[in-house]
Structure 1
Amino acid sequence: MQSVDTLTRAELADSIHRQLGLSRAESLTMVESILQHMVGALSSGENVKISGFGTFLLRDKGERMGRNPKTGVEVPITPRRVLTFRASQMLKDRISSV
């Protein structure tokens, strides 16, 4: 089984630092700014599309009946907004070729 690595904010900032020559602090500020813009857009109900990467989509789920798997008792599940990600075809192609 492969180990699962996680790409962190610090690693993104370090990559920007190495590739663009910005200071580490400027690189981290850039990463934080991008993430804040994305969160702000999603918070205000907008979807976020990054060309060649994918789209973060908001979806409203209505109220429905669910069942407690342990007891079998039916309970109402309240309406909520969920965030989904749909990868672009370019990203899918790059991942499948690895």
Structure 2
Amino acid sequence: MNKADLVNVVSAQTGATKTDVSSIVDATIETIVDSVVDGKKVSILGFGSFEPRDRSARQGLNPKTGEKIAIPAKRVPTFSAGKLFKDRVQG
């Protein structure tokens, strides 16, 4: 499912126009991204949580040559699925 599919399904379920749903989806995603960029955790009950995590610098290997390379420290976004989400996926 892509964003257009999501907009179509939510529009059909709620009766709202596709334009309105698209604006709401865009605003929701933008708010989540901005919060994680600011270092905040975003929790959506029953769905999951988004948060930034810091990865430390480490050594890696170039798969082609086998030589060691330095991988710099960086901040990455993470998602943890909530219990309800996990339970529904597992059936």
- Shared topology, TM-score over 0.5? yes
Q: Does 2:29 correspond to 1:59?
A: no
Deviation at 1:28, TM superposition (A): 0.8
CA deviation map 1:38-94 (0-9, x unaligned): 111111111221110111221101111111122121111111111221111111110
Cα RMSD, aligned residues only? 1.2
Name the % identity: 34
Q: Which residue of 2 aligns with 1:14?
A: 8
Counterpart mapping for 1:41-80 below 5 A = 41-80=35-74
**Farther-moved stretch of structure 1 (27-36 vs 67-76):** 67-76
Q: Which residue of 1 aligns with 2:21?
A: 27
Instruction: List runs of 5+ in structure 2 lacking aligned partners.
Output: none
The TM-score normalised by the length of structure 2 is 0.90
Amino acid in structure 2 at the alignment position of 1:67: L
CA deviation map 1:5-37 (0-9, x unaligned): xx2111221122112211111111111111111
Find runs of 4+ consecutive structure 1 residues off by over 4 angstroms.
none
2: CA distance, partners of 1:31 / 1:88: 20
The TM-score normalised by the length of structure 1 is 0.84
